[in-house]
Every structure is written in C-alpha cells, then in structure tokens.
C-alpha cells in the first residue's frame, strides 16, 4: 500500500521533464514535420505510386511496412526507420530520397529524427492529412 502513494510522486516529475504533452507534439508535427514532408515528399508519395510504395498522406497509410517488411516509421527508433535511412543516403545512391537536387538539409533530417525518437506523433483527421505543397507555403 505504501508504494501506491509514493509512486505518483516519483512518476509525475519524471514525465513532466521527459515527455512532451500531446499538444506540444501536435504543434511540432504541424509546424515542423508536416511542412517538410508536404514540400519534399508528397509530390510523389501521395498514394499515386504503385502500392505498396510509401504513402505519406495519412498516419494509417504512412505507418504501413515496406515490401521488405521494414518499418518506414518506427516510433522511438529513427535508426530502424526506413524513412530516415532514405533521406540520409548520400550523393549518387539510386534510392536517395528525395533526389539530390532537392535533398533535405541537415537541420530537416535532424528534425525528422527527433520527431521519430519522440514517438512520431501524427494526429488523426485534417491536421494529419498531408498533400503536396510547393514553394514557401508551409501549412
Ligand atoms: C520525385 C519523386 C519522389 C520524391 C520527391 C520523394 N520520393 Fe521517396 N520514392 C520515390 C520512388 C519512385 C520510390 C520507389 C518506390 C518503391 O518503393 O517502390 C521511393 C521510395 C522511397 C522510400 C523507400 C526506400 C527504400 O529503400 O526502399 C522511402 C523511405 C522514401 N521514398 C521516402 C521519401 C521521403 C521521406 C521523401 C521526402 C523527403 C521522398 N521519399 C521524396 C519517389 C520520390
């Protein structure tokens, strides 16, 4: 019985420090992740590539596995996420994503890593619906 009263006291401060709230995660997705994916990936990964290619239009579609059985997005583990390996491929690799002339910056790759490390929060509904955007439009 005693530890039942102590446990919450130990857990609450730890969670508050380590785990961002849902609204913080949603904000991160909408302001950081979504614009980059929409600008750099959705022109192709929008469901029109022949299945089972990666489809980034919604959480349900994006969290499917690759034909080789790997996770594109493995929450908590950027190293095992095919999405991260793909955008990190250098130079002339034929499967580099996206192609060289539109590859992501180190900052953008770091941001995607951090997002996946942090659980890859992806909201449902309109907020989590991605479509291609071009140029400076960011939402
Ligand atoms: C110009 C079109 C185009 C753009 C832009 C593009 N991709 Fe791709 N991508 C493809 C095609 C085509 C494939 C191969 C489809 C398949 O897997 O059969 C592919 C494959 C992939 C794969 C699987 C790679 C593998 O090793 O199997 C990942 C992951 C991926 N893309 C992520 C991304 C991400 C993330 C972005 C944005 C940063 C992006 N792609 C932008 C066309 C594109």
9-40 confidence digits (pLDDT tens): 666 655 556 678 999 999 999 999 999 999 98
Go through the chain and tell me how many residues it has: 139
Comparing CA positions, the residue from 95, 89, 104 lying closest to residue 32 is: 104
More confident residue, 122 or 5: 122
The confidence band for 137, taking pLDDT boundaries of 50, 70 and 90, is very low
Residue 71 bridge partners (DSSP):
65
By most ligand atoms within 8 Å of CB, the mutation choice from 81, 98, 131 for ligand 1 is 98
Distance separating alpha carbons of residues 114 and 110, to the nearest angstrom: 6
Ligand 1 atom at minimum distance from 52 CA: 18
- Is the pLDDT at 138 greater than 50, yes or no? no
Residue 11 Cβ < 6 Å to ligand 1 = no
38: exposed, middle or buried (Cβ count in 10 Å: 0-12, 13-18, 19+): buried
pLDDT digits (tens, 9 = 90+) for 50-91: 988 999 999 999 999 999 999 999 999 999 999 998 888 765
């Amino acid at each position: 019985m005693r530890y039942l009263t102590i446990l919450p006291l130990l857990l609450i401060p730890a969670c508050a420090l380590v785990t961002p709230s849902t609204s913080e995660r949603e904000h991160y997705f909408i302001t950081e992740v979504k614009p980059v994916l929409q600008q750099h990936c959705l022109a192709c990964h929008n469901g029109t590539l022949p299945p089972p290619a990666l489809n980034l239009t919604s959480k349900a579609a994006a969290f499917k596995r690759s034909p080789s059985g790997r996770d594109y997005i493995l929450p908590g583990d950027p190293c095992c996420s095919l999405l991260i390996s793909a955008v990190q491929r250098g130079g002339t690799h034929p499967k580099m994503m996206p192609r060289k002339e539109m590859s992501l910056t180190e900052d953008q790759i770091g941001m995607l890593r951090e997002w996946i490390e942090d659980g890859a929060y992806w909201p449902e509904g309109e907020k989590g619906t991605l479509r291609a955007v071009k140029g400076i439009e960011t939402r």
